[in-house]
Amino acid sequence: MQEVCKYAEHVSVSLLLAQRQAQGEQGEKELMTNVRVLYIEDNAENRLLVRRVLEAEGCSVLEAADGSSGLEVAAQTRPDLILLDINLPEIDGYDLARRFRDTPGLRQVPILAITANVMKGDRERTLAAGCDGYIQKPIDVDRLPEQIRATLRRVNT
């Protein structure tokens, strides 16, 4: 009888841990589900790659290939998060980030900069322009969802 009780106790603890873990994973998944991400990027291959990764996480992905259409799409759709390439033709990412920060209705939207610039001071420049975070190119598709989740958690708390 004692053996059975021990066994039952053991099962309930494992069950509880499993439930907690499932809830945790569920919470992580929900953090991304239906999140609308606008990706402003002039490189079509990167756009396709990021779209695939984020759609698999349950996000919906909007795209813009340059700064002016990025501003337009952002104003029309009010995305939940903006992924912003820094090296863009005409209006660069720094300038765009500043414009988003000056636009009512868009200034709260978290911006995650994506850039191949790894010179000293580049990270600070993106943050000074109003970005909430910084991802280095080439994009690591295994880390991207967590990098986005971390940004969403940070701005939501």
By the criterion CB under 5 A, which residues form the site for Mn ion? 42, 85, 87
HSE-CB for 122 with a 13 A CA cutoff: 16
Compute the least distance from the CB of residue 116 to Mn ion, in Å: 8
Closest to Mn ion by CB, 32 vs 41, is 41
Distance (Å, rounded) from C-alpha 138 to C-alpha 108? 27
Closest to Mn ion by CB, 32 vs 54, is 54
Length of the chain equals 157
Spell out the residues 6+ positions from residue 19 whose beta carbon is closer than 8 angstroms to its own.
Answer: none
Closest to Mn ion by CB, 80 vs 85, is 85
Compute the least distance from the CB of residue 21 to Mn ion, in Å: 39
Specify which residues 114 forms β-bridges with: 85, 135
Compute the least distance from the CB of residue 154 to Mn ion, in Å: 25
